[in-house]
Amino acid sequence: MRLLIALAATATFMIAEVIGGIVSGSLALIADAGHMLADAASLALAYAGTRLARRPADDRRSFGYGRLEVLAAFVNGVTLLLLAGWIAIEAMIRLTEPGEVLGGTMLAVAVLGLLVNAGCILVLHGGAGHDINVSGALAHVIGDLLGSVAAIAAAIVILTTGWTPIDPILSVLVAGLIVRSGWVVTRRAAHVLLQGTPEGVDAAALAAAVAARPEVAGVSHVHVWAITMGRMVATLHVTPAPGHDGRQAVAAARQTLHALFGIDHVTIETDPPGAGRACPHGADAL
């Protein structure tokens, strides 16, 4: 419910800010609306993640619907990068050809945006300690405060000095925030889509931890990836140690992966002694 309230407030004001930016002629407001788009997308993805996670897998989607969140994040990140590029180009044009900016309208909209962001922070703060999605959304909204502050600063400068170039200059700073958010989202989503090793997981260390068990003589063909953020999958081969059978080696490997790496979805194949020492993919055999 917290996410829905914050999403509704952010999306509604984002539209209002775009209108305010067009009416006042302020690029900084439009840039801040672009940053709020990042916040709205982050909130929507967080809400979708919590909802989609409850949907069961079916015959056509054996891993469920979690990847929809990753696909949406990738599209969102690319869109933000394109938006930041447009803002930067428009800022260069306005610096060479300054236009009229209505400082009063700009200030009113920017202050309202600051209040909306502050309200969203209060709504999300209570749930940040219990939900990782809420924590991530809260971080985005806090970052958007800088965009609102930049727009307020630009409006004050225009009202007091009449120097309108401050508007495109500060809009470039906001565009930088959008680039940062867009790049982080795009990079993380692309890593998941490419089935890269999840952040914080070392495949070699994982193999070594399993191989250290007395039931296991060797580990090879280790692959670790994520279906979606926080949901990891692993496959590997284990060779039972002398005096132990394949079931014991597999059980030991599963226990280690769960206890040390939080990985519960594991496919393990057993190899006879001396087999599978070469490992063309994944971590080296141990």
Answer for the pair 228, 132: CB distance below 8 angstroms, yes or no: no
pLDDT above 90 (res 177): no
Verify that 176 and 262 share a domain, yes or no. Answer: no
pLDDT band for position 280 (50/70/90)? Answer: very low
Please indicate, yes or no, if residue 275 is contained in any of the structural domains: no
Please indicate, yes or no, if residue 32 is contained in any of the structural domains: yes
pLDDT band for position 121 (50/70/90)? Answer: confident
pTM of the model: 0.75
Verify that 133 and 262 share a domain, yes or no. Answer: no
- Give me the pLDDT at residue 238, please: 96
CA–CA distance from 169 to each of 31, 88, 165, 173, 240 (Å)? 11, 9, 6, 7, 65
Please indicate, yes or no, if residue 96 is contained in any of the structural domains: yes
Verify that 214 and 136 share a domain, yes or no. Answer: no
- Give me the pLDDT at residue 130, please: 45
Q: How buried is residue 145: exposed, middle or buried, by Cβ count under 10 Å (0-12/13-18/19+)?
A: middle
The 8-class DSSP code of residue 285 comes to: P
Verify that 149 and 252 share a domain, yes or no. Answer: no
Verify that 248 and 157 share a domain, yes or no. Answer: no
Verify that 189 and 207 share a domain, yes or no. Answer: no
pLDDT above 80 (res 49): no
Which of 159, 193, 227 is at the close of a domain? 193
- Give me the pLDDT at residue 145, please: 75
- Give me the pLDDT at residue 128, please: 45
Please indicate, yes or no, if residue 198 is contained in any of the structural domains: no
Average pLDDT of the segment spanning 217-230 = 89
Q: What are the backbone dihedrals phi and psi of residue 237, each rounded to the nearest 5 degrees, phi first?
A: -110, 140
Verify that 161 and 49 share a domain, yes or no. Answer: yes
pLDDT digits (tens, 9 = 90+) for 153-163: 989 999 999 89
The sign of the CA dihedral 146, 15, 79, 42 is positive
The token duo for 259 is: 């206890």
pLDDT band for position 129 (50/70/90)? Answer: very low
The token duo for 274 is: 């001396």
First vs last C-alpha separation in the chain? 48
Which domain covers residue 127, as residue numbers?
2-193
The residues, ordered by sequence, that sit 6+ positions from 42 with a Cβ below 8 Å of its Cβ are 136, 137, 140, 181, 185
Q: How buried is residue 112: exposed, middle or buried, by Cβ count under 10 Å (0-12/13-18/19+)?
A: middle
Q: Which of 73-82, 221-230, 235-244 has the lowest mean pLDDT?
A: 73-82
Please indicate, yes or no, if residue 129 is contained in any of the structural domains: yes
Q: Considering its fold, how many domains does the chain have in total?
A: 2
Please indicate, yes or no, if residue 285 is contained in any of the structural domains: no
Please indicate, yes or no, if residue 14 is contained in any of the structural domains: yes
Rounded to 10°, the helix 166-193/27-52 angle is 20
pLDDT above 60 (res 183): yes
- Within 13 Å, how many C-alpha atoms sit on residue 105's CB side? 17
Q: Which of 129-143, 158-172, 246-260 has the lowest mean pLDDT?
A: 129-143
Answer for the pair 188, 46: CB distance below 8 angstroms, yes or no: no
Please indicate, yes or no, if residue 7 is contained in any of the structural domains: yes
pLDDT above 60 (res 127): no
